[in-house]
Structure 1
Amino acid sequence: MIRLSAFADEISPDLDEQIAVLSSENIHFMELRGAWNTNVLDFSDQQLKSIKEKLDAHGIGVSSIGSPIGKVAIDSPFDEHLRRLERAIEVAHVMQTPFIRMFSFYPPKGSDAANPPAYRDEVLKRLHEMIARARAADVVLLHENEKDIYGDTIARCVDLFQNCGDKAFRSILDPANYIQCGQTPYPNAYEATRPWLDYVHVKDADAEGKVTPAGDGAARWSELLQRLRADGYDGFLSLEPHLANASQYKGFSGPDLFRRASQALQKMLQAMDWQYA
């Protein structure tokens, strides 16, 4: 059975309001990215303990750590970034999730972003080290196909998975991000990355790249959901609506727009009689 999750900081910076809206929408997991305007990797140990206790009390699990790992220039100091990865691993263990969302690096600072082959080798070198650490810690790095990082197109995502083949490195399918990169999420991206698919982000975008609720854009969400079910997908569908604001490091929707996005997804699932938790 599939499970619904969400980037709850898209609802509100306040954790209590995040929990209240998730509960009202019958969503029992969150992709923990932030609260109180603090990034998940910057929570203190005491804050993490408090968050875990509060989520447990309300029956909400953590589907993934929505980290910003890999969302830096490829020539940024790597030792410093590895320390951030180690913190992400610690957070994942505290929150009892095997998954950490991550990215595959921006081009070097001040360089031509249109020349990914120039920094491909360094991307792979860094990813291999990160994956080894994730494997040793028994967690899985989930790669998101974010615009302007190395792995933003279908071909470069496949390049990463083929060259980093490892159970600790798996794929997130984010249809809206592919649209914003001029790619076709379904069937093209789905078919190409399906061997590595472990997680799905739920947002849509129109042909011009403007983010919309799932089903209102060009991602062919209804067909994608039908195909996911036919192929036996039993992972998370994680809402990341971005309906009010979409910045480089986070998006925001607010409670009302978040509910609109949630209900758009749930109506499609109900129409096809696909049970979810």
Structure 2
Amino acid sequence: MTDAPRWHLSGFGDEIDADPRVQVAVLQALGARHLEVRSAWGTNVADLTDAQVRELAQILDAAEHRVSAIGSPIGKVDISEAAGEVARLRRIAEIAHTLDTRYVRIFSFYRAEGVTPEQIRDDVIAALTELAGVAEDEGLVLLHENEKDIYGDTPDRVADLARHVSSPAFRLAWDAANFVQVGARPHTDGWAELAPHVEYLQVKDADLATGAVRPAGDGDGEVEATVRALAASGYAGFASLEPHLTEAGRMGGFSGPAAFGVAARAFARITDRVGVQLV
């Protein structure tokens, strides 16, 4: 009998509380030893001062807790503002190095009202290619999240990016709920083509009829099918909880400690059935 796959459980700590000490304490109580850093003390990670980053690193070190990824806002701007994202990524790189992680979540740009995805495609690919070049220089890996209303929100456009941003520093974060919210059946419609490019799992689900976010397995995101496929492929990376069970907005979401626990236990029921061990 082969050993069970071991995945590293993580989560967006700011969905628990603004205070990183509380974030770490709740995550550890749920069995996680990693944190995805999107904000701390109510400040977005891209805007943290050097002193705040050092303090965050000290909090994590004291708790023997590590960072799975920087949940950056890079690319969560209109494509017309793409040039400014290079400087922001260089700042994010400094923070990533201090927090000892190589993964940085990014997005593939919004567009103005009345502008089609096809009209911004070439500019998006050029901008992401430039950002990937910065990431390569910094020893980082960019994880594209399929956020609703950016260029890469549907499986076919995410596949377009995966094919044409030709850099080892550009990979995919799989978010089933976001695919549901643009009308896709995530595993059925996208897994076969996107699987070779997936490097990171973000965990939330959603209802196809309403778009409401649900705990994993309670929506239409085919989460268990994807977990089974990842396990069969030998995946041994991160599973990062992003529940959005209390609030969900364009720049993030919130759950609170209790709802975050609900999300963690729902995902654990799936991994238990599949035979994946969360560490």
Show the counterpart of 2:187.
Answer: 186
1:48 counterpart residue number: 53
1:5 touches 1:31 (CA, 8 Å); kept in 2? Answer: yes
CA shift at 1:222, angstroms? Answer: 2.0
Partner residue in 2 for 1:153: 154
* 1:102 is the counterpart of 2:103: no
CA contact (8 A) 1:184 1:219 kept: yes
- AA aligned opposite 2:107: F
- Of 47, 71, 79, the residue aligned with 2:76 is 71
Work out whether 1:31 is the aligned partner of 2:36.
yes
Counterpart selection for 2:25 from 6, 13, 20:
20
1:121 has 2:122 as partner: yes
Q: Does 1:84 align with 2:85?
A: no
C-alpha distance in structure 1 between counterparts of 2:38 and 2:122, whole Å: 29
Larger CA deviation: 158-167 vs 184-193: 184-193
The CA deviation at 1:77 is 5.7
Question: What is residue 139 of structure 2 aligned with on the other side?
Answer: 138
Give 3-state SS (helix, strand or coil) of 1:200's partner: strand
Distance in 2, matches of 1:94 and 1:189, equals 35
1:250 corresponds to which letter in structure 2?
Answer: G
For residues 27-58 of structure 1, the C-alpha deviation after alignment (integer angstroms, 9 at most, x for no partner) is 11011001111001111111111111111111
1:77–1:116 Cα change, 3 Å: closer
Q: Is the 8 A contact 1:199 1:236 kept in 2?
A: yes
Whole-Å Cα distance in 2 between the matches of residues 269 and 249 of structure 1? 28
**Equivalent position of 2:218 in the other structure:** 216
Deviates more, 1:223-232 or 1:92-101: 223-232
Deviations 1:60-88 (CA, angstroms, capped at 9, x unpaired): 1100000000000001261x321111111
* Residue pair 2:129, 2:167 contacting (<8 A) in 1 also: no
The one of 259, 262, 267 aligned to 1:260: 262
Which aligned segments of 4 or more residues in structure 1 are displaced greater than 6 angstroms?
Answer: none
Q: 1:272 to 1:44 in 2, by over 3 A?
A: same
Q: Please give the secondary structure, in 1, of the residue aligned with 2:278.
A: coil
Name the amino acid aligned to 1:197: V
The equivalent of 2:198 in structure 1 is: 197
Is the Cα contact below 8 Å between 2:108 and 2:124 reproduced in 1?
Answer: yes
Identity of aligned residues (%): 42
Gaps of 5+ in 1: none
Q: Distance in 1 between matches of 2:33 and 2:190?
A: 28
Deviation at 1:119, TM superposition (A): 1.0
Q: Is the 8 A contact 1:101 1:143 kept in 2?
A: yes
What do residues 136-173 of structure 1 show as CA deviations (whole Å, max 9, x unaligned)?
Answer: 11101100000000000111111111111211000111
Q: Which runs of 5+ in 2 are unaligned?
A: 1-5
Q: CA deviation at 1:272?
A: 2.9
Q: Secondary structure at the match of 2:69?
A: strand
User: Would you say the 8 A contact 1:173–1:190 is kept in 2?
Assistant: no
Rounded to whole Å, the distance in 1 between the matches of 2:132 and 2:275 is 37
Q: Look up the equivalent residue of 1:261 and give its one-letter code.
A: A
Q: What displacement does 1:265 show? A: 0.8
3-state secondary structure, aligned to 2:158? helix
After TM superposition, the score normalised by the length of structure 1 is 0.96
**2:63 is the alignment partner of 1:62:** no
